[in-house]
Every structure is written in C-alpha cells, then in structure tokens.
Amino acid sequence: MAEYRRVITGFSNPTVKALRALREKKHRKREKKFLAEGLRLLTDARECGHVPETLVLADRRDPHPLLSALEEAVEASGGEVIETTPDILAKITGKDNPQAVAGVFAEFDTSLGALDRSHADIWLVAQALRDPGNLGTMLRTGDAIGAGGLILIDDCADPFSVEAVRASMGAVFTQHIAQADWGEFESWLREGEGQLVAASLRDAQPYRGAPYAAPCFVMVGNESRGLPEDYEMACDLRVTMPMKGHADSLNAAVAAAVLGYEVLAGLEHSPARGE
C-alpha cells in the first residue's frame, strides 16, 4: 500500500474526530481548513487548481476515472488518502447518505487586499447574510454571471461551512471570497474604480436600463432586515425591482441573481462595449 494512503476503521480514531470537528466554525478557524464532499465538487476544485490536503474515500465505492484523477493529484501534491467505511464517512460529513468521497482544503485568503477588482466587471456583495444556503447560492450565481467573487460584509455566515460549500455547487473554488466590516470595505472600494449598486426603495430608479458601470459591486442585505439606511445612501446607484404580488421583497440570494443578470446585460450592451 502506498505511503500516502491509510485505512481507518474505528469511530474513535483521532483523525476521524479531527475531521468531524471541521463541521464546527471554531475548529475550522483554528485549523484554517474546511470540508467539501462529493466527486463533482472535488473535481471542480481540482480543475480550478485546488487539491485537497486530505482525501477521504468510502471503502465500498464504484471505480471512476475522476476519482482516480483526484487520488493521483493528492498523491502528487504530497497529500494523504484515507479509506474508511461509509458509516464513518457519514459521521465526518454529517450526512446520513454521504457521497463516496470528501476532501479537506486549506482555507483561502479572504482579505480585501487579495482581490483584484479589475479581474471582473461584476462583483457580488452581501451584508450580514446569515443563511449558509443563501451564501452558497450567491457564490453559484456569481460563477454563472462571470462575477469576480463575493465580498461578505459585517457578520455573515461562514463561507467555508459544509452547508455553504455544498450549496455553492463548486463555486466556492471558482469565486474569490473576501470578508470585511463595512468601514474597511467602503475605504477599499473608494481607493479605486467601482460602482456600488443596491436594490432599494430610497431615491431609486427602475433596475431595467439603469446606468451600470464596471466594475460594478452589486450589494444585498440581511435576509430579514435588508441593508442599513446609511449603507444604502452610500451607494452610487440605487435601483428598484417591481413587486407585483403581495410579497414586499425577494429572497436575498434571488435578488442578487436577478440584479446580477440585469447588470450583466447592461454592461454587455453599454456604448463602451460597442466601440
């Protein structure tokens, strides 16, 4: 058996306990590592240049060329492959019916200084977003619209939680992620080019055909409270989306998607693009 591979059969094994602990935020922050599960998600990671430090495989699994490619990548990078039972893998991931593979990755640099705003014309920004499913969905939306990444403002859900990573469908590996408080973000934004846009009812114009400009930072607020008034008033552009039913607002991640696609369309058809 290769040196980089080992077999674990006991629930009380210290490695199992350490891997399982990564489901908790305090342990992720301490170890600066996070869990991801599933062949498709780990393959997306590998194709984006992110190879897990540890690959955990169910010992009863069907062979697959993508799984073999993952094992080879982990071996080549000096990582470790662990084989264990499906029951132990379920304990690690917290899912009753886990997929046959999970990986442990080093957390990314989430400082604003690591971002290059010229990397993309659109960026998504979320303030006090609390639901990891919404956070993962915004990462997925960002990937779909070609955004550069997601900037998390103030006290947001952990982007490296198992739930957020799962909901991102692999976009956690394609999108840059930054975390900052409002003051730090506003100072960073105003140091260079960037239009800050938010859905709002305060002095807002229709979101269709609004004068969007790249790089455009599309901001949504907390699921229940929305954006603080001073944050909205600091925006360069406030837009409103029609609500023709009884609901007075959209889900935060849905609002980001609707607005993100409108910004994408507006930038693609702007006069500057046609020159």
List the single range of 64-68, 146-150, 227-231, 246-250 with lowest mean pLDDT.
246-250
Structure tokens at 119: 């990397």
24-64 tens-digit pLDDT = 999 999 999 999 999 999 999 999 999 999 999 998 788 89
Enumerate domains of the chain plus CATH numbers.
5-106 (3.30.1330.30), 112-274 (3.40.1280.10)
- Token match 């991931």: residue? 93
**Mean pLDDT for the stretch of residues 116-122:** 96
CA distance 209 to 259: 11
What pLDDT was estimated at residue 274? 41
pTM (2 d.p.):
0.91
Q: Does the pLDDT value for residue 76 go beyond 70? A: yes
